[in-house]
Amino acid sequence: MIELAGKGVVVAGGAGSIGRSVIGMLRERGARLAVIDKDPDGAHRVDDAEIAYLQADAADDGAVAGAVGGAVARLGKIHALVNCTGVIHSEPLVSLMNPARRRHAVESWDAVIRSNLTATFMLAAHVAEHMATNRIKGVIVNFSSVAAAGNPGQTAYAAAKAGIEAMTAVWARELGPLGIRVVAIAPGFVDTPSTHAALSDALIKEWGQRTPLRRLATADEIAHGVVFAIENSFVTGRTIHIDGGLSV
């Protein structure tokens, strides 16, 4: 088991609902934290003077380099990265009911891939380099989704999350000999503002009913999975599903 007290942890996307739950649990365990988020108002939601808030677009290489450098300056060393950046997006490949735009928009494809897949790649690359060059036995926790298996109506989002699971497996093999673990968390549907913004109430209700536990997850339930992935020193290369049985 990894002792989190005094360890430096970066939470990317930490201004979001799940990110804030992760931060809260890590703080309880004595971790020293930095948040990377592109939301200019996110510092008010994190609201902790002891947490470094670094505003940056996680899909921009230069911005990530600066933010990771800022985190290192504050924390000294980064022992763990939690990659919970990204957005949920629903859009069918073809919609005959929308003659104005029947095909999935290229613009939304690019935006979803950038905010989910590219951001995860950028952050992991910079932090893994820091860990490797400083001989830190660290851990990177990425965020996938049950959508990675192919949710209808979520072409771009599902592709991004499937890519994150593939990268997790690749990096676990590449970085394992250096003592760096890589794990993915795949939540089901979580009761957060972003879920309600992306999906209609009818669709949220339907997915809740289709989940064997008949409800959505809470942000804290997902955060518990993140803490487990960080603390258990023999978990790597796997995607941990926290979905109420939805993927069974």
More confident residue, 248 or 139: 139
Catalytic residue list: 157
| DSSP one-letter code for 115 | I
227 pLDDT above the threshold of 90: yes
pLDDT at 144 over 90: yes
Cα–Cα distance, 211 to 126 (Å, whole number): 37
Per-residue model confidence as pLDDT tens digits over 152-183 = 899 999 999 999 999 999 999 999 999 999 99
Find the largest Cα–Cα distance for the chain. 57
**Phi, psi dihedrals of residue 81, rounded to the nearest 5°:** -120, 130
| Answer CATH for 8-242 from 3.30.360.10, 3.30.2320.20, 3.40.50.720, 3.40.390.10 | 3.40.50.720
Is the pLDDT higher at 5 or at 191?
Answer: 5
CA distances for 60 relative to 9, 22, 57, 158, 159, angstroms: 20, 24, 6, 22, 20
pLDDT of residue 195: 81
| 197/240 Cα distance (integer angstroms) | 25
- Which pLDDT does position 193 carry in this prediction? 80
